[in-house]
């Protein structure tokens, strides 16, 4: 009883402070701590800020348990559902009235779900009224769809609030259940949580972790680019469960089913294609450093290692082989014999890799000669531009002022291939190491 009174008191007090919440009361049932989904993932949560978001506030002593967590009356409801095809489910979702986390919430959403093969379910949640960025699926273009099991054996949609329940097969255990927390879909904040059937969680993105099996004690990892600010993260909960958060795009999930980890990997590769098998020699010892200074020093290094029978397969040259660190050039004084260097290594069964940095200098070459790779790229509009779509974006990298190849532009790809072929004819080598695109 006293809890109720305090809650009401806080509510009325808060009512004076904010109009957003004057009609919204979060429904905060008692849920297992491990199933709480953080409604304040950034720092600085307080009771007041939590209530502004229409979330539940309940401080705990246990470390990592979110104090501000989602109520059950946030999220979306199913407005209508279409099941004309046995392998496809479509639904229209409407947002329930509730405060938004960061603003720009999207009221209407579409869900498209499809059983693509017996072992592959795809579902996508997006804004049907406005295109948002989607990662181009250049390698997933030819989906070899061959469903033979109706989608309703695998996927069930709950209406109010909207949730997805995924089973491997009819009447089998649930493997992915998003009813645990509301879907959030705002312009710059998307979130989906799912309860999972076990703590055996592996993979899920590029990040550093101490063991293959993930720690589900409230650990948060980036999904992409472990050395940069993440644009998507996931948190593993003790439930066990996982919460995905991202700051843009759409939610596009593929779920692969298999009896063994190998089978699941097989299903994944069926979709994305198989990896290139690396050349056997590329697995050998490799030697690289910046600033050998000249080719004689490189050769002395190679000779020294040969003399002690070090079984190393690959020698590199870093960008000091270039003329003024310009791509597709070499220093005609200090590295004059670079064109023959690969032959020199090949004689003893070794290989040569050269390093390129994609940024392209805007300056002229030695003796005021034209720097043709830059001139040809400019003629092809191969560079990343400013927001006007025309003016090349200028930056500063190793050779000084540079522009940046826009590899999403087919003109740029044609330019790059052409430059690379030209340079390969000049300086024979076995592979490239393309270093950071600053």
Ligand X SMILES: *[C@@H]1O[C@H](CO)[C@@H](O)[C@H](O)[C@H]1NC(C)=O
Tell me if 293 contacts ligand X by CB under 6 A: yes
Please select the residue that binds ligand X; options are 296, 340, 363, 391, rule is CB under 6 A: 296
Tell me if 86 contacts ligand X by CB under 6 A: yes
Task: Measure the CA–CA gap between 54 and 358, rounded to whole angstroms.
Answer: 48
User: Taking CB under 6 A as the rule, which mask of x and - marks residues 337-376 in contact with ligand X?
Assistant: ----------------------------------------
Q: What is the DSSP letter of 150?
A: -
Closest approach of ligand X to the CB of residue 81, in Å: 12
Please select the residue that binds ligand X; options are 15, 200, 282, 297, rule is CB under 6 A: 297
For residues 99 and 150, which CB has a smaller minimum distance to ligand X in the complex? 150
For tokens 């070090």, the residue is 310
> What is the total residue count of the chain?
438
How far is C-alpha 200 from the geometric centre of its chain's CA atoms? 22
Q: Assign residue 360 a region: left if phi > 0, alpha if psi is -120 to 50, beta otherwise?
A: beta
Task: Measure the CA–CA gap between 305 and 250, rounded to whole angstroms.
Answer: 53
For residues 106 and 295, which CB has a smaller minimum distance to ligand X in the complex? 295
Tell me if 294 contacts ligand X by CB under 6 A: yes
Q: What is the DSSP letter of 276?
A: P
User: Taking CB under 6 A as the rule, which mask of x and - marks residues 152-171 in contact with ligand X?
Assistant: x-------------------
Task: Measure the CA–CA gap between 177 and 167, rounded to whole angstroms.
Answer: 9
- Please choose, out of 189-197, 221-229, 278-286, 291-299, the segment that lies near ligand X by the rule CB under 6 A: 291-299
Cβ-proximal residue to ligand X, closest one: 86
- Please choose, out of 18-26, 89-97, 128-136, 293-301, the segment that lies near ligand X by the rule CB under 6 A: 293-301
Tell me if 104 contacts ligand X by CB under 6 A: no
Of 100, 80, 98, 82, which is closest to residue 90 (Cα–Cα)? 82
Instruction: Tell me the two tokens of residue 387.
Output: 């927001």
- Please choose, out of 130-138, 171-179, 294-302, 357-365, the segment that lies near ligand X by the rule CB under 6 A: 294-302
Of 103, 25, 15, which is closest to residue 71 (Cα–Cα)? 25
Contact 256, 267 (CB under 8 A): yes
Closest approach of ligand X to the CB of residue 123, in Å: 17
Report the interface residues with ligand X, using CB under 6 A: 86, 150, 152, 293-294, 296-297
């Amino acid at each position: 009883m006293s809890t109720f009174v305090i809650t009401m008191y806080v509510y009325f007090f808060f009512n004076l402070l904010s109009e957003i919440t004057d009609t919204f009361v979060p429904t905060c049932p008692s849920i297992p701590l491990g199933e709480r989904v953080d409604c304040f993932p950034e720092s600085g949560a307080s009771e007041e800020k939590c209530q502004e978001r229409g979330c539940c506030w309940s401080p705990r002593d246990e470390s990592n348990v979110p104090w501000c967590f989602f109520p059950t009356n946030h999220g979306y409801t199913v407005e209508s559902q279409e099941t004309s095809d046995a392998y496809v489910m479509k639904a229209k979702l409407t947002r329930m009235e509730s405060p938004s986390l960061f603003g720009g919430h999207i009221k209407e959403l579409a869900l498209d779900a499809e059983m693509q093969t017996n072992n592959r379910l795809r579902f996508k949640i997006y804004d049907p009224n406005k295109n948002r960025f989607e990662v181009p699926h250049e390698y997933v273009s030819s989906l070899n769809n061959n469903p033979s099991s109706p989608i309703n054996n695998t996927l069930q949609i709950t209406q109010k609030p909207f949730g997805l329940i995924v089973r491997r097969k009819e009447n089998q255990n649930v493997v992915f259940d998003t009813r645990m927390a509301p879907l959030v879909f705002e312009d710059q904040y998307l979130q989906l949580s799912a309860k999972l059937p076990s703590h055996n969680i592996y993979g899920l993105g590029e990040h550093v972790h101490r063991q293959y099996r993930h720690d589900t004690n409230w650990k948060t990892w980036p999904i992409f680019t472990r050395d940069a600010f993440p644009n998507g993260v996931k948190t593993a909960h003790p439930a066990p469960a996982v919460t995905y958060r991202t700051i843009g795009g759409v939610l596009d999930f593929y779920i692969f089913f298999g009896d063994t980890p190998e089978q699941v990997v097989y299903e994944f590769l069926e979709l994305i294609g198989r990896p290139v098998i690396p050349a056997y020699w590329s697995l050998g010892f490799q030697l690289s450093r910046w600033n050998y200074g000249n080719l004689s020093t490189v050769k002395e290094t190679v000779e020294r290692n040969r003399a002690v029978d070090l079984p190393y397969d690959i020698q590199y040259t870093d960008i000091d082989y270039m003329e003024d660190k310009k791509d597709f050039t070499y220093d005609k004084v200090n590295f004059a014999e670079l064109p023959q260097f690969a032959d020199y290594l090949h004689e003893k069964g070794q290989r040569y890799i050269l390093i390129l940095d994609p940024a392209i200098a805007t300056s002229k070459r030695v003796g005021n000669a034209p720097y043709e790779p830059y001139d040809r790229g400019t003629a092809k509009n191969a560079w990343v531009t400013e927001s006007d779509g025309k003016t090349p974006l200028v930056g500063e990298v190793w050779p000084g002022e540079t522009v940046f190849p826009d590899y999403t532009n087919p003109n740029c790809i044609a330019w790059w291939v052409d430059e690379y072929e030209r340079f390969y004819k000049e300086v024979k080598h076995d592979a490239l190491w393309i270093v950071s695109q600053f």
